[in-house]
Structure 1
Amino acid sequence: MKVIMVNGSPHPKGCTYTALSTVAEPLNRHGVETEIFNIGTKALSGCIACRKCAELGKCVFEDKVNEFVELASTGDGFIFGSPVHCGGVAGTMTSFMNRLFFSLRMSGKQLFQFKPGAVVVSTRRSGASGALDQFNKYLNAVQMPVVSSCSWNIVHGNTPDEVRQDLEGMQTMRVLGNNMAWLLKCLEAGRKSGISLPEQEERVSTNFIR
């Protein structure tokens, strides 16, 4: 089993990385492989609603989004992490998530459906609740079982050393890793025992205009 983590921070070894690395420790102890995917510092365009992804089977922009989709096919679970910028998910990570989830939906790819997911945010002081709410909506929209912890998935600090001093935050990350490993094992046991996935309805789309 493998969990892929996305580091939405421009700092490859910063506070968000520290949080994700802490989640990875119990996952690894339970025999779950982990990999951290960094979106880096290059600008990522937001979605331009061209809908070419429905035609091409991928986003029209060849950058980190399509690179991640290739990697995502190897994942059994996913954790998305971001610093808090102005009370929300970092701008580049927001563009990444918008294009990733929209292009997958339009192209008909079900890379995330029924695979456990979680989000974590790193903040110096405040704004984490808004970022978590924004982040979790992506997972809810594609039928990902959302993995919880013993508190909200937040770490506080301005540097990795300060994050490690956030003892409650570090515990929250460790519990998240243990819970993710447990759920992955439960899903694997269910598959082996013949439990089928939920029956799917044809999608209904309503825009409220009469």
Structure 2
Amino acid sequence: MKILGISGSPRKGQNCEKMIGSVLELAKEKGFETDSVLLSTSEVGLCKACGACRERDFCVIEDDMEEIYEKMRTSDGIIVAAPVYMGNYPAQLKALFDRSVLLRRKDFALKNKVGAALSIGGSRNGGQEKTIQSIHDWMHIHGMIVVGDNAHFGGVAWNPVEEDAVGMQTVIETAKKLCDVLELIEKK
């Protein structure tokens, strides 16, 4: 089974990429195949709501989304990490989410994949739960199975993540839950 980690931050090598790195390392240790999408190095243009994807199996905007669509289609689980920008996730992640409508229109390609969310803010209560809820909303729109960290909504960390032991524990617990649910599904 394969887990895709998506870092929704435009900042290369920073908190979200560190969280995704930790999550994917844990998944590898548990025997999962892993892949990642880093929005800091990906070109994802804004959806123009042109409707072309209703008629085609591809988006007419030429950027990195075709590769991202394939990674999303071939994954069994998706974990998204996002920083809090003005109370929610950044525009770069919103662009990816908007463009994912193609996958919904094409037979709900993300339906029944397991999803989880992580967020980091500038303070302990810096908007992370709202950001996670917004990510969960996107997952529900696609018909995904959404999991948290066994006690809350998902991984909630405080900047800088490497100094936040409590936050990193919620990140790790969220990753464990994602892996556990995928293993349960595989047994059926």
Percent identity over the alignment? Answer: 26
Task: Structure 1: state its 5+ residue gaps.
Answer: 191-210
**Is residue 114–residue 145 contact of structure 1 (8 Å, CA) maintained in 2?**
yes
- How many residue pairs get matched? 184
Deviations 1:105-134, CA, capped at 9 Å, x for gaps:
23x243211110111112112122221222
TM score, norm. by length of structure 2: 0.89
Secondary structure of residue in 2 paired with 1:4: strand
Q: Answer with 1 or 2: which has the greater Rg.
A: 1
Deviation string 1:166-201 (CA, Å, 9 cap, x unpaired) is 1111111111121111111110111xxxxxxxxxxx
**Residue 37 (structure 2) aligns with:** 37
SS in 1 for 2:108: coil
Partner of 2:173: 175
1:156 to 155, 158, 168: 158
1:1-210 alignment runs, 5 A limit:
1-40=1-40, 44-100=44-100, 102-106=101-105, 108-125=106-123, 126-149=126-149, 150-152=151-153, 153-157=155-159, 162-190=160-188
Contact 2:53 2:59 in 1 (8 A): yes
RMSD: 1.7
For 2:171 and 2:87, the matched residues in 1 are separated by: 21
TM-score by length of 1: 0.81
Q: Secondary structure at the match of 2:135?
A: helix
Question: Residues 93 and 188 (structure 1 numbering): CA distance in 2 closer, same or farther, change over 3 Å?
Answer: same
Structure 2: 5+ residue stretches without partners: none
1:83-113, CA deviations, whole angstroms, 9 ceiling, x for partnerless residues? 111111111111111111x12223x243211
